[in-house]
């Protein structure tokens, strides 16, 4: 196309497009090329026409060598070398060309391809179309200087300003790139509309309306403004008739023969999809754009309509986009953005409240009435699909994926039923349900737990539940106990005890800090873990905790913990824990009781739970601040401010307590616990108001008043009567009787005491 012809806005044809050069032979492709395949409205696709990386310099050189072979002079394109100046064209869209000395033709073509974003294949097909230079074995300087037909109008000599192979290739490619770019620079050919295109420069040969489908085809018509007629297409490698023109035919033949189909089936497939949607009367409405062929993300064809778009790729075919999914897609830069080309139609699902979704090469887009449209891509989409996508436990997306720098950084995205997290350098993980709720409560990936590092794990031990590990902690959930995070030193110690499958079992509460002793604690099925301010962890037990809490905890009489829970097998076994001012013991047979003060001191002097007293089986009972006692497994400890602490019999203590203790008939103790082997053996203890005796097989009984006095006169438990076998019974007349091992004492005011057989 002539530059001067273009500037004067007249339709001119490069001379060789009508005469001679059209008959230059071209190599045959493997299958016969038919003129019926030529589409005058879609000669070449945009993606192939504007491909700046279509061929490397080495590929161009190899192609020229294969086409030309042995050259008869130094002007063949496979051997030609030209000194090129650094050139910035005065108009158009090409970048600056950096000149070099002795540049091979292949390098010039490659660098022009880069500078003007016009495929080297297009340049080669044009060089052949105009002067047959790709196959000439002995070109002349006259032919080389008008290689692309640039600046050579049909009605005048070629403009000498464009003489030379280098400027021909650069300015010719500039013309092809400049037409329609930027938009509005050339408007005589309406892309996407029907245009009258002549068959030849002879007006009487007439024209035919052609719907120009894309910008690349429009560029070819700006460069050579004629379409081949039926005669030219019937004889692809020869001449037609007087009204035939050959420029665009030969370009198409050259390109297709050498490089394969110049066009994509995309437009035809888009038309079929549009018709299937009802055409202009359907949901898409009328056409609003030409066929667009962006090369981004693998390339494809697209066309816009009033209410939607259709995209086509060789891999996925034609796909329709409408409504909020298309709106979101456009916001994300459409097919040139991160999602790439659609690979499915819009799908509707009623699952999890219902919505719409569409899949793309680089992700998926979902829409719900409640959350709007959101994209899901990359590893997050893979993890989302692995758990059922929008029909699975996560449901529909409710946010965009977000990047977070905390705790090493990563990306996360929220869904109806949970979230997907992709920490830097680690696998993607799904967090859902009650564990997700607890994770959010702990500030998620920006909180102390950090990013998830495991999938959900199901465990049957200790009643069963599920858990999930995070960078700096874990979250556990078990039925009937709740969902709680376990972190820092408490988690480390918990793991050392077997975690949820170990003796501690599942957590039953959250970590609590700010205790009076400055520590933190967390409760578990099998105990409580205490984190001291120095970082050490001790174990507690629920049974002991219950007693401790009843005592007022750290603010009660026991004070702070000074040990973990200790297990002892002696005397049937049990557990205990020490505190500042006391201890708590628990056995399955007796339950849990605190031992403190002077009673604990004496208990320790008797080897505690491992000694002859055994485990406590009752709480401390005090008459007042001067007198207390406590039952143990094998005996009791009695303490008074007057006498200090001593061992007492549990049975005797029970009888003493039942009789009212120090406020009852017996009043205060006047002796320690006494043991005797007489009459089979037993125990006894004296009080101000009487005595209590216990013997095996009979039990503990009080002996008081005049009966005790008489009992003493006959030797007491060491005498003929032996040990008491029942309580005293008094009649209305004042007569009292009490049975003993070997007889009965009867006493009355009239006769005093006597033994009754």
Residue 552 backbone dihedrals phi, psi, to 5 degrees: 95, 10
Neighbours of 261 (CB within 10 A): 13
Final residue in a domain of this structure, among 259, 291, 312: 259
Other beta carbons within 10 angstroms of residue 248's beta carbon come to: 25
User: Could you give the CA distance from residue 333 to residue 351 in angstroms, rounded to a whole number?
Assistant: 29
Residue with tokens 């050498």: 258
CB count in 10 Å sphere of residue 665: 14
| pLDDT (tens digit per residue) in 360-418 | 999 999 999 999 999 999 999 999 999 999 999 999 999 999 999 999 999 999 999 99
pTM of the model: 0.66
* Cβ burial, residue 523 (10 Å; 0-12/13-18/19+): buried
* 653 against 245, higher pLDDT: 245
More confident residue, 97 or 7: 97
Cβ–Cβ < 8 Å for 505, 491: no
88 falls within a domain: yes
H or E stretch including 247?
helix 247-259
Is 357 within a domain? no
Secondary structure (H, E, C), 534-567:
CCCEEECCHHHHHHHHHCCHHHCCCCCECCCCEE
Reduce the DSSP state of residue 700 to 3 states and report it: strand
- Torsions phi, psi of 295, nearest 5? -90, 0
The answer as to whether 207 is a domain residue is yes
- pLDDT of 10 over the 50 cut: no
Mean pLDDT of the chain: 90
Task: Give the mean model confidence (pLDDT) for residues 469-476.
Answer: 96
DSSP bridge pairs for 374: 366
> Does pLDDT of 284 surpass 80?
yes
Q: Is the predicted pLDDT of residue 278 greater than 80, yes or no?
A: yes
Q: Which residues are within 8 A (CB) of 662 and not within 5 positions of it... i.e. 6 or more apart?
A: 623, 624, 627, 668
| 248 within some domain | yes
3-state secondary structure 458-491: EECHHHCEEEEEECCEEEEEECCCEEEEEEHHHH
Judge whether 423 and 380 are in contact, CB under 8 Å. no
DSSP run (H or E) holding 16: helix 15-18
- Given 219, 240, 259, the domain boundary residue is 259
Residue 630 included in any domain: no
In degrees rounded to 5, what are phi and psi of residue 698? -115, -40
Buried (b) or exposed (e) across 596-634, using 16+ Cβ within 10 A?
bbebbebbeebebbebebbbbbbbbebbeeebbbbbbbe
The secondary structure of 142-181 as a DSSP string is HHHTTTT-TT--TTSPPPGGG-SHHHHHHHHHHHHHHTTS
pLDDT at 624: 81
**Percentage of residues in the chain having pLDDT higher than 70:** 95
Give 698's DSSP letter: T
Q: What pLDDT is stored for residue 166 in this prediction?
A: 97
Closest alpha carbon to 542 in 500, 487, 592: 592
pLDDT at position 596, please? 95
Q: Helix, strand, coil shares of the chain as percentages rounded to 5?
A: 30, 25, 45
pLDDT at residue 25 is higher than 70: no
- pLDDT tens, position by position, 449-464: 999 999 999 999 999 9
pLDDT at 11 over 50: no
- The answer on pLDDT for 231 being more than 90 is yes
Q: What are 77-114's pLDDT values in tens digits? A: 999 999 999 999 999 999 999 999 999 999 999 999 99
Give, for 67, the enclosing helix (H) or strand (E): helix 57-68
Residue 497 tokens read as 């005890």
Q: What is the pLDDT of residue 503?
A: 87
Q: Structurally, how many domains does the chain consist of?
A: 2
Q: CA–CA separation, 106 vs 124, rounded Å? A: 10
Cα 183 vs. chain centroid, distance in angstroms?
43
Say if residues 255 and 262 touch (Cβ distance below 8 Å).
yes
The per-residue pLDDT for 222 is 94
pLDDT at residue 154 in the model: 64
Task: Give the list of residues 6+ apart from residue 610 with CB closer than 8 angstroms, or none.
Answer: 568, 570, 571
Segment 576-602 mean pLDDT = 94
Is 484:478 a contact under the CB 8 Å cutoff? Answer: no
Give dist(CA 176, CA 132) in Å, integer.
19
Would you state the pLDDT for residue 295? 80
Average the pLDDT over each of 313-327, 422-436, 538-552 and give the range with the smallest value. Answer: 538-552
Cβ neighbours of 316 (radius 10 Å):
18
pLDDT band at 516 (very low <50, low <70, confident <90, very high): low
Kindly state the DSSP code that residue 381 receives in the 8-state scheme. H
Q: What does the pLDDT read at residue 635?
A: 83
Q: Dihedral of the CA atoms 570, 575, 576, 577 (nearest 10)? A: 140
| Average of per-residue pLDDT across 690-695 | 95
Q: Do the beta carbons of residue 344 and residue 303 sit within 8 Å?
A: no
pLDDT reading at 32 higher than 90: no
Distance in angstroms (rounded) separating the CA atoms of residues 35 and 248: 12
Q: Is residue 675 exposed (0-12), middle (13-18) or buried (19+ Cβ within 10 Å)? A: exposed
452-457 LR contacts (CB < 8 Å, sep 24+): 452/421, 452/423, 453/423, 453/426, 453/429, 454/429, 455/429, 455/430, 456/430, 456/431, 456/432
Q: How many CB atoms lie within 10 A of CB 742?
A: 14
Scanning the structure block, which residue is given the tokens 């103790």? Answer: 669
Q: Which domain holds residue 59?
A: 3-24+44-259
CA-based diameter of the chain, in Å?
167
Residue 701 lies in a domain: yes
Q: Give bridge partners of residue 45 from the DSSP assignment.
A: none
The secondary element (H helix, E strand) that includes residue 363 is: strand 363-368
Q: How far apart are CA 450 and CA 151, in angstroms?
A: 68
In a domain? residue 373: no
pLDDT digits (tens, 9 = 90+) for 161-196: 899 999 999 999 999 999 878 777 888 999 889 999
For the CA atoms of 652, 656, 662, 667, what is the dihedral angle to 10 degrees?
-80
CA dihedral sign, ordered 265, 271, 275, 277? positive
Q: Is there a domain that residue 595 lies in?
A: no
> Which of 195, 229, 259 is the endpoint of a domain?
259
pLDDT at 515: 66
Cα–Cα nearest to 636, from 651, 658, 622: 651
Q: Are strands 690-695 and 682-687 parallel, antiparallel or unpaired?
A: antiparallel
Q: What pLDDT score was predicted for residue 155? A: 65
**pLDDT higher than threshold 90 for residue 342:** yes
CB atoms within 10 A of CB 647: 17
Whose tokens are 């094998």? That residue is 634
Residues in the chain: 757
Gap between the Cα atoms of 558 and 517, Å rounded: 12
The residues, any chain, with a CB within 8 Å of residue 276's CB and separated by 6 or more, are none
pLDDT class of 21 with cuts at 50, 70, 90: very low
**pLDDT tens, residue by residue, 632-679:** 998 889 888 887 888 888 788 889 989 998 889 999 888 878 889 999
Quick: pLDDT tens for 349-368: 999 999 999 999 999 999 99
Reduce the DSSP state of residue 506 to 3 states and report it: coil
């Amino acid at each position: 196309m002539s530059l001067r012809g273009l500037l004067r806005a007249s339709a001119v044809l490069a001379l060789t497009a009508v005469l001679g050069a059209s008959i230059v032979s071209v190599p045959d492709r493997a299958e016969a090329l038919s003129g019926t395949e030529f589409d005058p409205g879609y000669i070449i696709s945009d993606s192939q026409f504007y491909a700046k990386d279509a061929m490397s310099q080495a590929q161009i050189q190899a192609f020229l060598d294969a086409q030309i072979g042995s050259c008869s002079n130094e002007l063949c394109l496979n051997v030609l070398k030209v000194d090129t100046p650094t050139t910035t064209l005065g108009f158009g869209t090409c970048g600056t060309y950096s000149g070099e000395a002795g540049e091979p033709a292949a390098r010039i073509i490659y660098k022009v391809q880069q500078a003007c974003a016009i495929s080297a294949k297009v340049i080669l097909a044009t060089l052949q179309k105009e002067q047959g230079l790709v196959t000439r074995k002995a070109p002349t300087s006259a032919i080389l200087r008008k290689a692309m037909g640039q600046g050579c109008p049909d009605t005048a000599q070629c403009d000498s300003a464009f003489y030379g192979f280098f400027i021909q290739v650069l300015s010719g490619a500039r013309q092809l790139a400049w037409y329609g770019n930027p938009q509005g620079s050339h408007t005589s050919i309406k892309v996407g509309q029907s245009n009258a295109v002549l068959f030849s420069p002879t007006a009487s040969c007439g024209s035919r309306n052609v719907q120009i489908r894309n910008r690349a085809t429009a560029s070819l018509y700006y460069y050579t403004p004629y379409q081949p007629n039926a005669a030219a297409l019937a004889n692809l490698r020869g001449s037609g008739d007087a009204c035939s023109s050959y420029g665009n035919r030969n370009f198409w033949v050259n390109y297709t023969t050498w490089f394969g189909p110049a066009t994509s089936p995309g437009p035809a497939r888009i038309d079929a999809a549009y018709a299937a949607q009802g055409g202009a009367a359907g949901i898409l409405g009328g056409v609003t754009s030409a066929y667009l062929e962006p090369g981004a993300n693998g390339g494809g064809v697209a066309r816009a309509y009033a209410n939607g778009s259709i995209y086509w790729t060789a891999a996925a075919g034609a796909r329709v986009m409408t409504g909020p999914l298309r709106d979101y897609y456009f916001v994300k830069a459409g097919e040139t953005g991160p999602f790439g080309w659609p690979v499915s139609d819009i799908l509707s699902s009623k699952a999890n409240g219902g919505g719409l979704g569409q899949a793309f090469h680089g992700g998926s887009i979902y829409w719900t009435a409640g959350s709007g449209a959101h994209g899901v891509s990359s590893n997050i989409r893979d993890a989302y699909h692995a758990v059922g996508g929008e029909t699975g436990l996560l449901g529909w997306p409710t946010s965009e994926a977000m990047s977070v720098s905390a705790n090493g950084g990563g990306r996360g995205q929220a869904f109806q039923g949970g979230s997907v997290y992709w920490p830097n350098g680690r696998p993607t993980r799904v967090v859902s349900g009650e564990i997700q709720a607890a994770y959010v409560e702990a500030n998620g990936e920006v909180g102390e737990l950090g990013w998830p590092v495991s999938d959900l794990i199901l465990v049957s031990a200790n009643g069963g539940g599920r858990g999930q590990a995070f960078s700096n902690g874990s979250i556990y959930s078990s039925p009937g106990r709740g969902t709680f995070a376990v972190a820092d030193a408490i988690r480390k110690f918990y793991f050392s005890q077997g975690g949820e499958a170990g003796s501690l079992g599942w957590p039953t509460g959250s970590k609590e800090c700010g205790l009076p002793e400055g520590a933190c604690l967390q409760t578990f099925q099998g105990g409580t873990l205490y984190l001291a301010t120095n970082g050490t962890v001790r174990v507690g037990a629920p049974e002991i905790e219950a007693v401790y809490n009843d005592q007022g905890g750290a603010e009660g009489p026991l004070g702070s913990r000074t040990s973990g829970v200790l297990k002892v097998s002696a005397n049937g076994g049990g557990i205990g824990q020490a505190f500042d001012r006391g201890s708590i013991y628990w056995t399955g047979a007796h339950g849990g009781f605190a031992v403190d003060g002077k009673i604990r001191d004496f208990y320790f002097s008797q080897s505690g739970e491992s000694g002859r007293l055994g485990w406590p089986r009752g709480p401390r009972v005090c008459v007042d601040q001067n007198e207390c006692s406590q039952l143990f497994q094998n005996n009791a400890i009695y303490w008074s401010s007057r006498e200090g602490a001593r061992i007492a019999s549990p049975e005797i203590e029970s009888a003493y307590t039942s009789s009212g203790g120090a406020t009852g008939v017996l009043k205060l103790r006047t002796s320690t616990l006494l043991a005797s082997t007489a009459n089979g053996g037993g125990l006894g203890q004296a009080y101000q108001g009487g005595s209590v005796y216990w013997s095996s097989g009979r039990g503990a009984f009080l002996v008081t008043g005049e009966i005790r006095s008489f009992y003493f006169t006959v030797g007491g438990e060491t005498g003929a009567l032996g040990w008491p076998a029942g309580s005293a019974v008094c009649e209305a007349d004042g007569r009292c009787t009490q049975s003993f091992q070997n007889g009965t004492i009867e006493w009355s005011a009239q006769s005093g005491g006597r033994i009754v057989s």
